[in-house]
Amino acid sequence: MLETGTTWGFTGTTMTSLMFFWAMYKQIFPYHLQVYIERYVYKLMGWVSSSVHIKFNEYSEEGLEKSEAYDSIHNYLSTKSTALAKRLKANKSRNSRSLVLSLDDHEEVEDVFEGVKVKWSSSVSENENLNQSSMNRHKVYVERRYMTLSFHSRHREMITKTYLDHVLREGKEIGLKKRERKLYTNKSSNEWCSWRLGGKWSNVSFDHPATFETLAMDPEKKEEIKKDLVKFSKGKDYYRKVGKPWKRGYLLYGPPGTGKSTMISAMANFLGYDVYDLELTTVADNSELKKLMLDTKGKSIVVIEDIDCSLDLTGQRKIKKEQDKDVEDEEEKKKQSKVTLSGLLNAIDGLWSACSGEKIIVFTTNFVDNLDPALIRRGRMDSHIEMSYCRFEAFKVLAKNYLGIESHDDLYGEIKRLVEEVNMSPADVAENLMPKSDEEDAEVCLKRLVKSLEEEKKLAEKEEKKEVRKKKKKAEERH
């Protein structure tokens, strides 16, 4: 549990009472003597004190690796500090919308856990380092931050076993919630550079506003999906117990504009996950695909949109020869992705899937029947979700989103009848509902929708009649 950069020390008085002497002593004594004195003072204090102190450094001893434990403690204490500490530090990260308050240096905050009081203090010390890179080697002073946890020695067992676990877990969760989420897209392999940060994926910050509240679909189905996601995200122990990698596949299928891509954003926002948008056509071959998958982090959704169009995964093996004949340009042939169905199956199900925490895989398609059954069998795509045309329940969500209304005496009845009869996508319904100018009120938009639905209905009836006539003609010809 305690990682690099975490050291244990036992001293005997509070930090605050030493602060004045500390400043004086730093001025008077040279650094090498300070190290010597500190070692013995600490030892002496340990003999007379009943307190235990645990020190958590921000960086590892070599100063290279940032301690995850320190970050988690920092996050955990930021909530306590805002309410309890007298001196706070305010930071605003580049993309965050609000200020982040945290414990200032040399400040203390108390915490109570299972009736036991503990104290956290944040400190910063200056360490001497030799500047190796400079032509004239000289000493530089580096600030080293650390947190000290102090408590009575009779609670040692509980604090080290239960409390610290609790702090690290909670702090990690807070960190995940407040982190800036990313939308990744895969680079082509000639852009992969091991020495450059970023690796195989480029990213932008993910800020899609879709949520389950704004997603128009049957409310029961929506609740089911939300429950399923929550169960998955909390299922670490369960997945371990049943011996399955912690991952879940969702197949979203349905006609264009029914909200498949919107659903992915809603899922990511709901769980606080990153999104990896995998463009299969730019992946050269199966081995590249595996490497890309290995380079994804946990708490993420890996998405392959329009899986039926991405590659000819359905019958790649069968029609490959024919295809090769058709592709005359050698260069073009080289550029084509060689990812095969089995390569994709391996990448989803292979050993990689057990790496780096929980992962969701989402495929979307307009034509579910065209997909190879192996690709979407349960266990691989565990949940198949049909995104359907807009029915009345979904319409109500859209009307609330776009017009801010929950009912309309005259028009809701008519719309209810029409949307149950006409196949119109939520995207089209939304477009009709969106006011086109400030003068357009809810009624104007609803009337536009009614008109549009009626036109669609007439068109559908015409098409149906045409079909019936065609069938009749064929039947007559056969006789």
Contact footprint for Mg ion (CB under 5 A): 260-261
Token look-up 């995207």 returns 427
Contacts of ligand ATP in 132-171 (CB under 6 A):
none
403 binds ligand ATP (CB under 6 A): no
Collect all residues with Cβ–Cβ distance below 8 Å to 166 and sequence separation of at least 6: 113
Pattern 254-293, ligand ATP, x by CB under 6 A: --xxxxxxx-------------------------------
170 vs 75: CA distance, rounded Å: 8
Tell me which DSSP letter residue 7 carries. Answer: E
160 vs 150: CA distance, rounded Å: 11
305 vs 362: CA distance, rounded Å: 8
- For residues 461 and 423, is the Cβ–Cβ distance under 8 A? no
Contact partner, 219, from Mg ion, ligand ATP, none, Cβ < 5-8 Å per class: none
DSSP for 439-469? T--HHHHHHHHHHHHHHHHHHHHHHHHHHHH
- For residues 289 and 338, is the Cβ–Cβ distance under 8 A? no
Q: Nearest to ligand ATP by Cβ — which residue?
A: 259
- For residues 378 and 349, is the Cβ–Cβ distance under 8 A? no
Grouping H, G, I as helix, E, B as strand and the rest as coil, residue 27 is: helix
Min. distance of Cβ 268 from ligand ATP in angstroms?
A: 13
Give exposure, 236-254, as e/b (b: 16+ Cβ within 10 Å).
eeebeeeeebbbbbbbbbb
User: In degrees rounded to 5, what are phi and psi of residue 405?
Assistant: -120, 155
Min. distance of Cβ 217 from Mg ion in angstroms?
A: 15
Min. distance of Cβ 277 from Mg ion in angstroms?
A: 11
Pattern 215-234, ligand ATP, x by CB under 6 A: xxx-----------------
Contact partner, 121, from Mg ion, ligand ATP, none, Cβ < 5-8 Å per class: none
Pattern 435-454, ligand ATP, x by CB under 6 A: --------------------
Contact partner, 256, from ligand ATP, Mg ion, none, Cβ < 5-8 Å per class: ligand ATP
308 binds ligand ATP (CB under 6 A): no
* CA pseudo-torsion sign 191, 196, 199, 205: negative
Q: Nearest to Mg ion by Cβ — which residue?
A: 261
Task: Candidates 174, 271, 387, 415: give the one binding ligand ATP (CB under 6 A).
Answer: 387
259 vs 254: CA distance, rounded Å: 9
Min. distance of Cβ 387 from Mg ion in angstroms?
A: 9
- Part in contact with ligand ATP (CB under 6 A); list of ranges 25-33, 252-260, 320-328, 445-453: 252-260
Contact partner, 259, from ligand ATP, Mg ion, none, Cβ < 5-8 Å per class: ligand ATP
Nearer to Mg ion, 229 or 304 (CB): 304
- For residues 102 and 74, is the Cβ–Cβ distance under 8 A? yes
- Part in contact with ligand ATP (CB under 6 A); list of ranges 53-61, 76-84, 250-258, 328-336: 250-258
Alpha-carbon dihedral 422, 426, 427, 429, rounded to 10 degrees = 60
Query: Under rule CB under 6 A, how many of the chain's residues touch ligand ATP?
Result: 15
Contact partner, 216, from Mg ion, ligand ATP, none, Cβ < 5-8 Å per class: ligand ATP
Grouping H, G, I as helix, E, B as strand and the rest as coil, residue 46 is: helix
Contact partner, 426, from Mg ion, ligand ATP, none, Cβ < 5-8 Å per class: ligand ATP
Contact partner, 266, from Mg ion, ligand ATP, none, Cβ < 5-8 Å per class: none
Contact partner, 433, from Mg ion, ligand ATP, none, Cβ < 5-8 Å per class: none
Min. distance of Cβ 430 from ligand ATP in angstroms?
A: 5
Tell me which DSSP letter residue 377 carries. Answer: S
* Residue 166 in tokens: 């609790």
- Part in contact with ligand ATP (CB under 6 A); list of ranges 26-34, 80-88, 175-183, 426-434: 426-434
- For residues 146 and 123, is the Cβ–Cβ distance under 8 A? yes
- Part in contact with ligand ATP (CB under 6 A); list of ranges 50-58, 226-234, 424-432, 463-471: 424-432
Catalogue the E-assigned strands of 245-324: 247-253, 274-277, 300-304
Nearer to ligand ATP, 215 or 229 (CB): 215
Nearer to Mg ion, 82 or 214 (CB): 214
Contact partner, 262, from Mg ion, ligand ATP, none, Cβ < 5-8 Å per class: ligand ATP
Min. distance of Cβ 275 from ligand ATP in angstroms?
A: 13
- For residues 123 and 116, is the Cβ–Cβ distance under 8 A? no
Residue 302: beta bridge partners?
A: 276, 361
* Residue 36 in tokens: 């010597």
Nearer to ligand ATP, 211 or 342 (CB): 211
Percentage helix, strand, coil, to 5, in the chain?
50, 20, 30
Contact footprint for ligand ATP (CB under 6 A): 215-217, 256-262, 366, 387, 426-427, 430
